[in-house]
Structure formats: structure tokens, C-alpha cells
Structure 1
Amino acid sequence: MFSSLDKFPLKTILIFLIAILSMNLTYFQHSKVLLNNHQKEKIKLVTSTISAEMGKQSEVEATYDEMLGHELRTASIVIKKSLHPDFHQVTNEQLVALAKELNIGGITLFERQGDDLIGVRSSDPKEINASSKTWGIVYSAQLQLTDRKSVDVGTGLTLENFWSGPIDTASTDEADIRKWGEFYDGTTNYLINPYLNVSSSLEHYRQKVGVDVSIQELLENNEGNLIEIGVLNPEKIFDKSPTPNNRSSWYSERFLLNGSYKYRDGIEESKIKEALAKNSTVFYNVNLNGTNILKSFTPMVTTNLKYKRDSLPKVVMVATDYSQIEKTLHHQFREVFIFMSIVTLLVCVVIIVMYSITRKKNEGAVKTVQDVYLANINSIVQSIKEQRHDIINHITTISWMIKLKKYESLQDYIDPLIQEAKMMDNKIKAVEINIPALSGIIQAKLAQSELHNIDMQVDFKNMENLRLTTIKTTDLVRIISNLIDNAFDATIELPATERKINVEGIVQANQLTIQVQNSCNPVNPDIQTRIFDSGFSTKKGKNNKGLGLHIIKQLIERYKGKIDFTTQEAGVTFSIIIPLKHEK
């Protein structure tokens, strides 16, 4: 019997060590899976945020792009009526003066010479003798116009005798980003090519509310985890052929559309192809400069982002520092290992002490000693099981919350976010106005109201009966946007639950009526008599010059309309009536 007892402590300790090692390995693998899944879900959330921002930006830019196209067509008609139909009778100086008068970037006249179009007169000397043969879809559109055909190149705005393409880099000045129009009605021996310089306006927009701003905010809020986000044009990574006229630097030919992409690797091309083929996110790990990085590529299907009809979807790239996960795992494993080692040592000491005691007992007492020993072992094992259970629960919880900074569970976070995005999307889609520019500004303000937790309601009726020229459309946008901005400024001072704005518009009885009502703090009666005075403002700050409402009133009076300002207990209301019979 003592022979069997001699082997007892060694066998028990060995079995116990194997059990401890198995628990540690199981826990480590479980934690690794949890952290990996958490990281991938976080990447998907980031990608969804960027995709939503890209969608919003593309919708707004599409509306802005179409508005510019209509403006260029109007300018083209004015140019045609202002110039001699024979370009030989037109001077470059005339085009310079006319471009300045129309407040556009410049004008170039192209002559059709066989299968080419050559710039023969221009307000920009660099455009003279320029050939459009290497300009891709612009060249195709010019050929179709001069052949007296309706333009069909898969993109851009096509109107009668006119086509306007997407915003792009100027071939004669790569520092400039422009919006061109192409006009030809057969009454001249030249094609009219007016353009607008949009570099500063695009840059200003994207610095304020564009996708790059959202990317920067995500990186700052997730510093140490997210290391890079980029929106890519996959066609450029697949296209190995040289581009004419250094087109790789053109606005439409960029590989990187937003964000940055410094962490390049040798298998990215195959991973992008895989993501496009599956139309889903592809994850993979790669070691770059000694750093283990988890990268992902996600296709983003948005029609408004396509430059050509057959363009591939854009791809959102997200790179995270996977070494942070490894550090967390190693830290957790080390803590558990130390704890388990201490417990194991204590158990081994107990076993050895118990064994020493049993050897001093007589054979008659061995059974009793064994019973006591086994009872203690069971108690210790049960205690270890309970402590292990608690430790795993605590550490598992920490692993889920480690990067969430003590927020609710990830799923609880994602669900309301998705629901909110869907509600906003439905709210924007519900606004149907047949005037692109007006629809664009209303949708942009709706998106802005969401950011400020403002309950903004919009109701436009009978707008299909409204027929305005481009200039009147511009004035209408200025009027409504100024009124809504004023409403934002007043409403945002209230608690989030009290912020309300109602915008209503209707065309009836040969007049356009617009009302903008908003909640606000109590209004001083003195304001009502001075609200439209030049220089008067209730806003604080050096940049508030008090010109907004004064300018609005002047615009409305120009169209023989009137504007009223009334106060109620719940807020204020601006009412506008513009008679349509005075439309010119």
C-alpha cells in the first residue's frame, strides 16, 4: 500500500499540471477568437461609417455637379449670342472679358479638324492649339456634339446641344480642378467650352464636412488601434499601362480618393480582387516594418462615385495595429499563468504535506487518511474551478470592453447606430423636390440637423408647378439656406429634446409660399422691428455681421415678394410669399 502511496503525489501533480496547462491554452485561444472578432466588428463599423459618409458626400456633390452643369449651359448660350459665329472674327481678349463678365473660370473655342478638336481661341493662352484627342470621354462627347448627336458617354449631364462632364484636372494646368461644359448647336464653326474653377470650393467643403474629416475624427478617437483609413480606386492598382499626358495625377485618375494609404504590401492586389469578386469584406494579416497589421478591403457600391459607366466599385481600406491585440493577449495570459502557478504551487504543497502525514500513520489509519485527503483535494479542485470561472468571466468582459472604453456591448452599440442611419436615410428619401439644387440643400440641412440632435421636419407640396431659371434657383437656395441656418443657430441653444424646426413650402394660387418655424429662447420684442436691418444680429462672435436676413429681404423684394417675422410662445416663424406672375 505504501508502494502505491509513493507514486501518488507525483501522478496527482502531473495530472494537475496538465489540467492547468489545458485550461490556460483553452482560455488563450478563446480570448484570441473574441478579440479577433471584436476587432473585425469594429473595422466593419468603421467601414460602414465611411461608406455612409461617402454616400452622403456623393449625393450632395452630384446635386452640386448638376447645378454647375446647368449654369455652364446658360453661360454657353450667352457666349454664343455674344460672339461672331466665325471664330476668325473672335479675339482672345473678347473671351477674357466675357469670362470675367459671366464670372466663370474661362472660355475656349474648339474647331473640329478631321477626327480631332483643336483650341483656336481661348481666354487662357495654354488652351490655344490644345488637342482634346487624349481627353477620354470629353473627346468622345465633343465628337458626338459636333456630329450633331445626343451625347452618351456613360456619365455627365446631357442636355440639348450640351454636355457637361465630371469635375476633373485641367490638362493644361494640373494645379487646377475644373468643371467644363461642351456646347454646339451647328450655328457656329466652333464648339464652345466654358469652365469653372472649383478647386477652392471642393477643398473648403471637404475640410469642413467631407469624408476626410470623418476619417480624421475616427483615427483620433481610436488612436493606438486604427492606424490608417483610405478610400481607393481599384482600377488604378490593376491598370499597369502608362497613362497619356501624365493622367495618373488627374482628379479622375487618382488611386487614393480619401484618407491615406502608406501601409502597402505585396498581396494587396489579390486581396482587393477577392473583395470585389465576393462583394464583401476581406481581412488578412501582414507584417510591415516589424508591425503586425490587420488590414481589410471592403467594396463600396455607389453609382454617384463612378466616373465611367463601367467603373469598378470603390474600396474602403482599414488598417489596424494587430500588435495591440497580441499585447493584450500576452498580458492576460501572463496574469492568468501567474495566478494558476501560485494555485498549483499551493496545491502541490498541500499534497506533499498530506502525503508526509499519511506516511506516519499506521496501515489501519490509511483509509481514513485517504478519505480526508480526497475530500480536501475535491474541495481545492472545486475552489479552483470556481475561481477559474470567475477569472474567465472577468477577463472575458474586460477583453470585450478594453477598446470600447466601458461602453455598452458592441452589439448594443451597433444596433441603435444602424437604426439611426436607417431613420436618417428614410427621412432624406422622403423629401422629393423636382428642383435639384433645392433638393440638395434641404437634404444637406437634414443631415446637419441629425448631427446637432435637431428634430427637423420638411414638407414641400406642388413643387412640380414651380418653373424657375438658374438664377432664380440660386436665389431660392440662398433664401432657404440662410433661414434654416438662422433656425439652427437659435434652436441649438436649447436642450436637445426641445430643438425643433419645421420647413414648409407650397406652390398655389400663382405664388410660392415658404415658412420656416423653429423653437428658441424667448425673443425680445425690440428684435421684431430691427430683425431685417443691415448690421443687426443677435449672434455672438466677430464673424456675425448681421447681413443674412437683410440680404434675404432684398432678394425677396426683388421678386416683388414679402417676408414676415412673427413670434409665438413655442418659437419664431419666418413666412415668405413670392408671386410667380413676376417671373422673368
Structure 2
Amino acid sequence: MMRRRKWLLAILGLLLLIGVNNTIYYFTAKRSLENSMRHEMLAVAKQIQLSIEQSRLGGEVFQNQIGRELRAVSIAAQYALDPDIDKVTNEQLTELATKLDVNHISLFRPDEARDDIVIDKSSDPKELGAGSKTWDPWYQAFQQLFALKPVSVKWGQVLNHFWTGPYESATTDVDKIYKWGYYYDGSTNYMLDPYISNEMMKQYEDATGVNRLIKRAIEDNASLLEITAVNPDTFSVGKPILTKNSAGEWVEHITQAPIIYGEYTYKLKDDVRNIEKAYKSNRIVTVNTIANDTHVIKTYIPVQIPKGSSVLDLEGNSLDRYILTIVSDYKFVQDSLDSQFLNIGFIITIITVLSALLVLLVRHYFRRSRNEVVKETQVTYVEEINQLLVSVKAQRHDFLNYVQTIQSLVDLGKVTELKDFMKELTGEIQLTNEMINIGNPAIAALIRSKLAQAQERKVRFENNFHGLDKLDFGMKSLDLTRVIGNLIDNAFDEVMKYPEERRFIRLEGVLADNTLEFVIRNTCDNAARIVEEGKLFDQGFSTKQGAHQGLGLPIVKEIVTSYKGTLQVKSDEDGFIVFAVRLPHY
């Protein structure tokens, strides 16, 4: 009955593991596909961004070419007209506009009485008498032209004695969009202003412009729903930027339009905040949400543009970037998930089976390793106890011989030989007592071995231990011997660089207040530099010559860390490097 219950619990645990594993893997795969889709969309967005910006720059180049043509028209008109505005008629301007293939030509001159620069003559009657003082920054440009100074307006096109702004709605005719050119070189008492409608620009836009490019991109990519270029400063207003002209009519300013290109139908309540975030941080912002009852991914991409562009903020200053929003259909992510569901299920099953096998193998390995460690430690303990008992018995067995030898040396008056014999005998007994006093057989065996090596290498090796008889026996003792052994070996390698009289190592160990501490110090001339570099515990790092692999100290650190202990290294004023190991012991 008990065995059945254990099997049932094991099966339930396995089923739970499979369920959790499947769930985790499914959502991980889903997130991975979403990220893949997002990256793919960003790549497409980047291509669209570059194409749109290239098309926009092409449009500005086209506008600049029109600007140069307007300057040429101005110079041609100046040659055809009298330099005195009072001798020029509106009829002449109408005839000249037809010949030069522009919509209209107007003439501006300063009006001191009105403290303004007004249109005194024009081929368009609606223009006559219009003042420009409220046209910002046009009025500033007019003043600079009449003063024969370079126009300092930071957008538009500046040529010699000439300035033209972008296409804009006409103040005197709100239904018309024109591009005006303004020319004055001081040879007349008026400023020439030829201008043309946006028909040429509209034809260019329809053929190769940004809006056509956006339309084709959406048609060619089924996952794209909408592409919009947004003015980040005026978009927050939520409506077109309007001003009232002298006739009381509202004029919409194209250069400050919230939507620069494309359509804006997939609206989100957080659009203003996301656009502002993308604009201020100059980083791409992506949201996964619902718009127009459609699950979409909306991306806000800041697009850098040259200073002096015709994209203006609320104050009429040129912006350094606008925001491109791209709306993608999440359905393509879901379709990809659905199509891969069977593959995911198969992979999940394989991974689950492999995981279960791996768990069983690891469990078997650790159980076997633990048994081997315990067995090895027990064997070490028995061997060391036997060796210590043999040493004690040998001393007792030879005691009579020692006494007889001492008596003979006394009788013969061999004082020097007696001292040497006693010194050797005392050292052997003391060594055995020290091994017994260490209290831990595994550590005692290690110290015995290292003392033999020290004697062979002419190294002065001192050690002192307290309280290790209270140390738990088992895995911890084996790990401690690895820690101490590697630290001693590291010390041996270092002191062998120096003459015999400088080869010194001291090891101290104590177990007190639930803390086990080992401190080992050895001669090291470069201790301060080595400690400062901080590479002693890096895999493969070694300060020694030869075939050293730099593994000893990293092993020490790994073992100490596994027991939640600390390992510190420092240099002291006596030319020693000091390693201190502290381990909790409960």
C-alpha cells in the first residue's frame, strides 16, 4: 500500500512537472515569436523610414529647384519693369506673369505711415494693400532683404538677395496653396514676389512622393496597416494650427500640420504620450495593444532631419526630427504561433522526456558520488587513526631502547651526541602529538604529507590548530582538505622562488563561535601588486612559471562560496601574502 502511494505521488509529480514545463515553454516560445515579429517589423520600419526620408529629401530638393526658378523669374521681371514702382501697372504684372509662366507677381514696398511692408502692385487684385507685419517670420525676412542683409530665418531657402519659404496656404486666399519667392537687390524701390501654385509639387508627390511611397508599402506588406509621419510638437494640440487673416478668415498652416504624411485612423489614447516619449528620448517606442477592434503592434520611430527643414513647431521653429508611426497586424504573430503549435508540442514532449532522464541520471550520480565521498572519508579516517596508533605503539616499543641509549651516552660523557639524540627524539614525539592534537584525521593526514614536502624542499612550515576536534565529519572534511591543500600548494609554489632562509609558510586553523577559520601566510615580494590586480581567483590566471593551469585558487573560491563562506587575500608589511578562509559551522 505504501509503495503504491509513493508511485502515485511520483506519477503526479511527474505530470505536474510536465504541465509546468509545457506551460513555461509555450509562453517562452510565444514571447520569442513576438520578439522575432517585433524585430522583423522594426527592420521593415527602418527600411520604410529610410525610403520615406529619401523621398522627403527629394521633395525638398525639388522645392529648392522651384525656388531657384522663382529667383530667375524675379530677375527677368526686374529687367522688364521700371525700377520705380509708381511707373508699374497691375496690367503689366498680369501680362508679365503669363509670359514667365507663374501664377502671379506682386510688388512689395515699405509703408512708413503704416509701419509695414505692403503689397502695392499685383497681378492678383486680392493681394493689393495687404500688409505683412503679422506674417512671422516672413516679415523678418522682408526687413532683412530691404536692408540688403542675408536672411537669417532658419528654414526656407536663402539665395543671393533672395528668400523663399515652403509651400503654404495663402493669407489673402485661404483656399490656395502657393510657393512665394522674394527678391530685392537695391536697384528698385520695391521687392519682387513671383509665386506659383502647388500643382507642380502635387504632381511630383503623386508620382514619387512620400504619400505614394506609404501607400505602396502598405499594399506590398500584408502585415502593415498604417504608416503616419507626425509632427511631435503640434500633434499634442490635437487639431490643425490656424490663424485669422485681416478678412477674419482662418488660415491653416501646412508647415505646422500635426499629420505630415499618411493617414491617422488607428488612434490610441496614449499616442500623445508615446510620441512625446519617442521624441524626447530619441528612441523607438513599441506598444502591443488594441486599436479599431484589432490587435496591433504600434511602433513610434524618431526620424532625424536636417536643421532648416519645413517641419515647424508651434513657435514656427524648425524641428530636428519627426515621429514615424507604423501599425502592424498582430494576427501574423498569432498565425505563426498556431502554425508552429504542433512543432512546439513535439519539442515540449521531447524536452520533458529528456529532462526526466537527466534528473534520474543526476540523482543517481549524486547518490553514488555521496556514497563514494563518505566511503573515502571513512577510509582516510581509519587509515590515519591506524597510523597514529602505530606511531604511539612504536614509540612505546622503542622506549626502552631510547632509555638505554640515553644511559650509554651519559655514561660515556657524550654530551653533544646526547643533545642531538634528545632533539631528534623530542621532534618525533612532538610531531606525533601535534598530529593527534589537530583533532581531524583528514586534515591531520594532509598536514603530515605537507610537512614531509616542506622538509624535502627546505621550507619552514609552521602550523597551529585549535578546536578542530569539534568539526563535523564527512563531506565537509574532504572539501576542507581540498581548500587547505590548494592554499598550501599555492604557498609552496611561491616560496620556492626565494633562497632557503626566506622560504616560510604558516598555517593557522580555529573553530570557535560557530565559525571555522583558516589563515595561511607565506613569503611574497609582489604581494601588494598581486592583490591590487585582483586576478588571483580568475580561471587560468597564474603568477608562476611552467605548466601551471591557474586552477587551484579558483577551486578554493568555488568550494568556499558553496558553503556560503568568505575568502579574503591581502598583503602585510612583513612581505607576506595572507589568505583567510571563513566558513559558517553549525
1:296 aligns with: 299
Structure 1 position 210, deviation (Å): 2.3
Structure 1 residues 150 and 327, CA gap change in structure 2 (3 angstroms) = same
Structure 1 position 110, deviation (Å): 1.9
**Distance in 2 between the 1:60 and 1:289 partners?**
34
Q: Which runs of 5+ in 2 are unaligned?
A: 361-586
Structure 1 position 200, deviation (Å): 2.6
1:470-494 Cα deviation digits (max 9, x unpaired)? xxxxxxxxxxxxxxxxxxxxxxxxx
1:211 aligns with: 210
**Distance in 2 between the 1:379 and 1:171 partners?**
77
1:131 aligns with: 131
2:466 aligns with: none
SS in 2 for 1:185: coil
1:267 aligns with: 270
**Distance in 1 between the 2:354 and 2:73 partners?**
91
2:254 aligns with: 251
Q: Map 1:83-102 to 2 at 5 A.
A: 83-102=81-100
Structure 1 position 120, deviation (Å): 2.2
Aligned partner letter, 1:272:
I
1:447 aligns with: none
1:339-363 Cα deviation digits (max 9, x unpaired)? 799x89xxxxxxxxxxxxxxxxxxx
Is 1:50–1:211's contact at 8 Å kept on the other side of the alignment? no
**Distance in 2 between the 1:238 and 1:295 partners?**
18
Structure 1 position 324, deviation (Å): 4.3
SS in 1 for 2:130: coil
**Distance in 2 between the 1:317 and 1:188 partners?**
49
2:38 aligns with: 40
- Is 1:122–2:125 an aligned residue pair? no
- Which of residues 63, 67, 90 in structure 2 aligns to 1:65? 63
Of structures 1 and 2, the larger Rg is shown by 2
Structure 1 residues 169 and 39, CA gap change in structure 2 (3 angstroms) = farther
Structure 1 residues 378 and 108, CA gap change in structure 2 (3 angstroms) = closer
Structure 1 position 252, deviation (Å): 1.3
Structure 1 position 24, deviation (Å): 2.0
**Distance in 1 between the 2:290 and 2:251 partners?**
29
Structure 1 position 154, deviation (Å): 0.8
SS in 2 for 1:298: strand
**Distance in 1 between the 2:229 and 2:120 partners?**
39
Q: Map 1:14-413 to 2 at 5 A.
A: 14-113=12-111, 114-197=114-197, 199-223=198-222, 225-239=223-237, 243-245=242-244, 249-303=252-306, 306-307=309-310, 310-326=318-334, 328-329=336-337
Structure 1 position 107, deviation (Å): 0.4
Is 1:181–1:193's contact at 8 Å kept on the other side of the alignment? yes
**Distance in 2 between the 1:260 and 1:7 partners?**
67
Is 2:174–2:250's contact at 8 Å kept on the other side of the alignment? no
Aligned partner letter, 1:271:
N
Structure 1 residues 378 and 221, CA gap change in structure 2 (3 angstroms) = closer
- Is 1:11–2:9 an aligned residue pair? yes
Aligned partner letter, 1:232:
V
**Distance in 2 between the 1:317 and 1:39 partners?**
16
**Distance in 1 between the 2:37 and 2:250 partners?**
38
Aligned partner letter, 2:130:
A
Structure 1 position 229, deviation (Å): 0.7
**Distance in 2 between the 1:229 and 1:120 partners?**
45
Is 1:296–1:317's contact at 8 Å kept on the other side of the alignment? yes
**Distance in 2 between the 1:262 and 1:148 partners?**
48
1:363 aligns with: none
Q: Map 1:474-553 to 2 at 5 A.
A: none
**Distance in 2 between the 1:333 and 1:12 partners?**
28
Structure 1 position 247, deviation (Å): 7.2
Structure 1 position 286, deviation (Å): 3.0
SS in 2 for 1:218: helix
Give the paired residue count: 346
Is 2:242–2:253's contact at 8 Å kept on the other side of the alignment? no
Structure 1 position 45, deviation (Å): 1.7
**Distance in 1 between the 2:338 and 2:270 partners?**
28
Aligned partner letter, 1:145:
L
Aligned partner letter, 1:314:
Y
SS in 1 for 2:126: helix
SS in 2 for 1:186: coil
Structure 1 residues 380 and 160, CA gap change in structure 2 (3 angstroms) = closer
**Distance in 1 between the 2:353 and 2:185 partners?**
97
Structure 1 position 11, deviation (Å): 1.9
Is 2:155–2:318's contact at 8 Å kept on the other side of the alignment? no
Is 2:70–2:181's contact at 8 Å kept on the other side of the alignment? yes
1:372 aligns with: none
Structure 1 residues 9 and 330, CA gap change in structure 2 (3 angstroms) = farther
1:290-321 Cα deviation digits (max 9, x unpaired)? 32322111111121772256424111101112
Structure 1 residues 234 and 320, CA gap change in structure 2 (3 angstroms) = same
SS in 2 for 1:173: coil
1:528 aligns with: none
SS in 2 for 1:133: coil
Question: Which one is further off, 243-252 or 39-48?
Answer: 243-252
Structure 1 position 58, deviation (Å): 3.5
**Distance in 1 between the 2:355 and 2:238 partners?**
68
Alpha-carbon RMSD: 3.3
Aligned partner letter, 2:51:
E
Q: Which runs of 5+ in 1 are unaligned?
A: 345-376, 386-584
**Distance in 2 between the 1:21 and 1:102 partners?**
81
**Distance in 2 between the 1:272 and 1:328 partners?**
29
**Distance in 1 between the 2:157 and 2:344 partners?**
65
**Distance in 2 between the 1:5 and 1:305 partners?**
83
**Distance in 1 between the 2:272 and 2:150 partners?**
38
Is 2:307–2:319's contact at 8 Å kept on the other side of the alignment? no
Question: Which one is further off, 264-273 or 162-171?
Answer: 162-171
Is 1:180–1:195's contact at 8 Å kept on the other side of the alignment? yes
1:72-101 Cα deviation digits (max 9, x unpaired)? 222212222322333333222211100011
Structure 1 residues 214 and 159, CA gap change in structure 2 (3 angstroms) = closer
Aligned partner letter, 1:138:
W
TM-score, length-scaled by structure 2: 0.53
Is 2:110–2:117's contact at 8 Å kept on the other side of the alignment? yes
**Distance in 1 between the 2:52 and 2:291 partners?**
28
**Distance in 2 between the 1:30 and 1:191 partners?**
69
Is 1:95–1:122's contact at 8 Å kept on the other side of the alignment? yes
Is 2:56–2:210's contact at 8 Å kept on the other side of the alignment? no
| Identity within the alignment, % | 30
**Distance in 2 between the 1:231 and 1:340 partners?**
43
Structure 1 position 239, deviation (Å): 4.8
Is 1:62–1:304's contact at 8 Å kept on the other side of the alignment? no
SS in 2 for 1:134: coil
Is 1:28–1:329's contact at 8 Å kept on the other side of the alignment? no
1:131-167 Cα deviation digits (max 9, x unpaired)? 3233322222112212332211012332332212223
**Distance in 2 between the 1:340 and 1:101 partners?**
78
Structure 1 position 49, deviation (Å): 1.7
Is 2:307–2:318's contact at 8 Å kept on the other side of the alignment? no
